[in-house]
Chains A and B, each alone.
Chain A
Amino acid sequence: MNLMLPDSGLIFWMTIIFAIVFFVLAKFGFPIITGMVEKRNKRISDALESARAAEEALAGLQQEHERLLAQTRAEQTRLLQETAAERDRMIAAAQEQARAEAQKIMDDARKRIREEQDAAMKEVRNEVAAISLAIAEKVIRKELSGDTAQKEYAERLADEI
């Protein structure tokens, strides 16, 4: 039986047909399918990669957000404290100033009062001296006429009053 003998005509046709099939499929068939599938797989893995990156970025953003929030809160507290301190300081300073002013006014007033008092005292004294002198003059006009010793005595008396 010639089953084991390859027939030359069939080899001829098989070679031609297989060559044509191979060239057609290798050019227009399989590479397109495999290429597209690889492209798609690449795209899917890229998408997964970018999704992971986005997730990471989001997590980072969240962290940043929280950090900023905490920072802001701390800043706020600090500012409030500072403001409070400033306020206290300002009030204290104002009080101090007011106290100093008041003191000064009081001092001035006291000084003026004393001066006024002194002046008044002096005036009163002079007045009293003059009155006393006048009285003494009137009382003892005769014996004390223009005597300086007597006038001094009268002044001394006026001081003792």
Chain B
Amino acid sequence: MKWLKVISAIVMMAFVVPLSAAEAQEGEVDVAEMLFGHIGDSYGWHITDWNGSHVTIPLPCIVHSSTGWHVFMSSKVEHGHEYEGLFLAEEGRYEGKIVEQMADGTLARPFDISITKNVASLMFTALLLIALVLGAARWYRKHDAAEEGAPKGFAGLMEMMVMMVNDDLIKPSIGEHCYRKYAPYLLTVFFFIFLSNLLGIVPFFPGGANVTGNIAVTMVLALCTFFAINIFGNRHYWKEILWPDVPVFLKFPIPIMQTIELFGMISKPFSLMVRLFANIMAGHAMILGLVAVIFVTVKLGPVINGSMTVIAMLFGVFMDCLELLVAFIQAYVFTMLSAVFIGLSRQEESAHPVDPSEQGVTRT
């Protein structure tokens, strides 16, 4: 979407008079709305504006209100329309969400499991990821890797990445003795985040959604890591939390150390959640902001607008390159820290505890 706007801005220069006139007539561009409209979630998938009207792919809405289940397309509630007592709240707590008017006049949010833009993008990412990985795995089913040597082409690329994460990231972080159990989960996390991040940078239709920059998505991922740490944590791990090796007055009768450890237990996945969310969200916001500069400066005249367009484009290119890097780094960091935390929960008594902050490359 970002790039499309950049390209449309170039096209706009050719028709600078009629279009900028039309823009000026419509009034100022609402940057905040555009920005949050993109990085937030929505019921339909807005692709572009064409001849003054929105081009939006309607997505199914599934809600359970006081009147039962309702399944309908998002186009039914667009532009303030009401459908079976349900409409989009325009302001307040539930702004932009499907709500219903209760008998006492208050707005209530129904149980909402609509296929929103982010859910659709998640599904697309999931299908693409499954296709990519199973496509690579198919090579190994058809060929005997032991006899024929390493694969070439796509399967070779996937093998290189899978083995890079497996051997250089998961194995040293968790430890040789029990990394196999966690490797499929961590590989899934890595590739899911990486692919979502990359698709988020693509400005066209199947990409462009802010999936990993949504806190619900990163929360589920962080919770998975939380469970992976705590369900399979060994005796030593729980002893460190419940009865650490400190003077007794620090843990009994007032459980000071236990409280600290409990916070540590929660803050680990919490930091994972916020780090990924904030990085990706900020990246999207930055690029969108740079693109918005082009539209904001329209009313300052063609000279300033033109020069600002060039600057914004240069910065936009730079930011997109940076986001490519961030897409990889954040997937890498999330996987590595998950692996380190899991490794700590599986550490044996004799081993010295590793400070995760020394191993982790963090960027928040």
User: For residues 121 through 161 of chain B, which have their beta carbon under 8 Å from a beta carbon of chain A?
Assistant: 122-123, 126, 129-130, 133-134, 136-137, 140-141, 145-146, 149-150, 158-159
Question: What secondary structure prevails in chain A residues at the interface with B?
Answer: helix
Q: Report the tally of A-B residue pairs with Cβ distances under 8 A.
A: 129
Size class of the B contact interface (CB-based, 8 Å): 35 or more
User: For residues 18 through 52 of chain A, which have their beta carbon under 8 Å from a beta carbon of chain B?
Assistant: 18, 20-22, 24-26, 28-34, 36-37, 39-40, 42-43
Partner among B126, B137, B192, B214 whose Cβ is within 8 Å of the Cβ of A32: B137
Q: Which residue of A lies closest to B112 (CB)?
A: A9
Whether A10 pairs with B217 at a CB distance below 8 angstroms is yes
Residues on B with beta carbons closer than 8 Å to the beta carbon of A15? 220
Residues of A within 8 A of B (CB-CB), count: 36
Whether A21 pairs with B130 at a CB distance below 8 angstroms is yes
Whether B116 pairs with A10 at a CB distance below 8 angstroms is yes
Proximity bits, B154-196, A CB within 8 Å = 1, else 0: 0000110011001000000000000000011101100110000
Whether A32 pairs with B140 at a CB distance below 8 angstroms is yes
User: For residues 89 through 138 of chain B, which have their beta carbon under 8 Å from a beta carbon of chain A?
Assistant: 95, 111-116, 118-119, 122-123, 126, 129-130, 133-134, 136-137
Whether A143 sits at the interface, judged by CB under 8 Å, is: no
Whether A11 sits at the interface, judged by CB under 8 Å, is: yes
Residues on A with beta carbons closer than 8 Å to the beta carbon of B149? 40
User: For residues 124 through 158 of chain A, which have their beta carbon under 8 Å from a beta carbon of chain B?
Assistant: none
Proximity bits, A1-22, B CB within 8 Å = 1, else 0: 1111111111111110110111
Whether B145 pairs with A37 at a CB distance below 8 angstroms is yes
Whether B123 pairs with A29 at a CB distance below 8 angstroms is no
Contact A10:B214 (CB < 8 A) given known A3-B39, A3-B40, A37-B145: yes
User: For residues 214 through 230 of chain B, which have their beta carbon under 8 Å from a beta carbon of chain A?
Assistant: 214-217, 219-221, 224
Residues on A with beta carbons closer than 8 Å to the beta carbon of B111? 8
Question: What secondary structure prevails in chain B residues at the interface with A?
Answer: helix
Whether A25 pairs with B146 at a CB distance below 8 angstroms is no
Contact A28:B137 (CB < 8 A) given known A3-B36, A14-B217: yes
Whether B187 pairs with A25 at a CB distance below 8 angstroms is yes
Q: Which residue of B lies closest to A6 (CB)?
A: B216
Whether B220 pairs with A18 at a CB distance below 8 angstroms is yes
Q: Which residue of B lies closest to A15 (CB)?
A: B220
Whether B281 sits at the interface, judged by CB under 8 Å, is: yes
In the assembled complex, how far is the CB of residue A19 from the closest CB belonging to chain B, in whole angstroms? 9
Whether A13 pairs with B113 at a CB distance below 8 angstroms is yes
Whether B261 sits at the interface, judged by CB under 8 Å, is: no
Whether B126 pairs with A20 at a CB distance below 8 angstroms is yes
Whether A1 pairs with B41 at a CB distance below 8 angstroms is no
Whether B221 pairs with A33 at a CB distance below 8 angstroms is no
In the assembled complex, how far is the CB of residue A25 from the closest CB belonging to chain B, in whole angstroms? 5
In the assembled complex, how far is the CB of residue A41 from the closest CB belonging to chain B, in whole angstroms? 9
Residues on B with beta carbons closer than 8 Å to the beta carbon of A9? 112-114, 116, 119
Q: Complex: how many Å from CA A5 to CA B94?
A: 11
Whether B184 pairs with A30 at a CB distance below 8 angstroms is yes
In the assembled complex, how far is the CB of residue A32 from the closest CB belonging to chain B, in whole angstroms? 4
In the assembled complex, how far is the CB of residue A117 from the closest CB belonging to chain B, in whole angstroms? 108
Whether A14 pairs with B140 at a CB distance below 8 angstroms is no
Contact A3:B221 (CB < 8 A) given known A21-B126, A21-B192, A32-B141: no
Residues on A with beta carbons closer than 8 Å to the beta carbon of B215? 3-6
Contact A25:B162 (CB < 8 A) given known A3-B281, A32-B137: no
Instruction: List chain A positions with a Cβ less than 8 A from chain B.
Output: 1-15, 17-18, 20-22, 24-26, 28-34, 36-37, 39-40, 42-43
Enumerate 20 A-B pairs (CB-CB under 8 Å) in ascending A order: A4-B215, A7-B41, A7-B216, A8-B216, A9-B113, A10-B216, A11-B216, A11-B219, A11-B220, A14-B216, A14-B220, A15-B220, A21-B192, A22-B184, A29-B133, A30-B183, A32-B137, A33-B158, A36-B145, A37-B145
What are the 8 tightest A-B residue pairs by CB atom distance, in nearest-first order?
Answer: A26-B184, A6-B216, A10-B216, A29-B133, A36-B145, A36-B140, A14-B220, A13-B119
Further 15 A-B residue pairs, CB within 8 A, beyond A2-B40, A18-B220, A37-B145: A9-B112, A13-B122, A13-B123, A14-B122, A17-B126, A18-B126, A21-B188, A22-B184, A25-B134, A26-B184, A29-B184, A30-B187, A33-B137, A40-B146, A40-B149
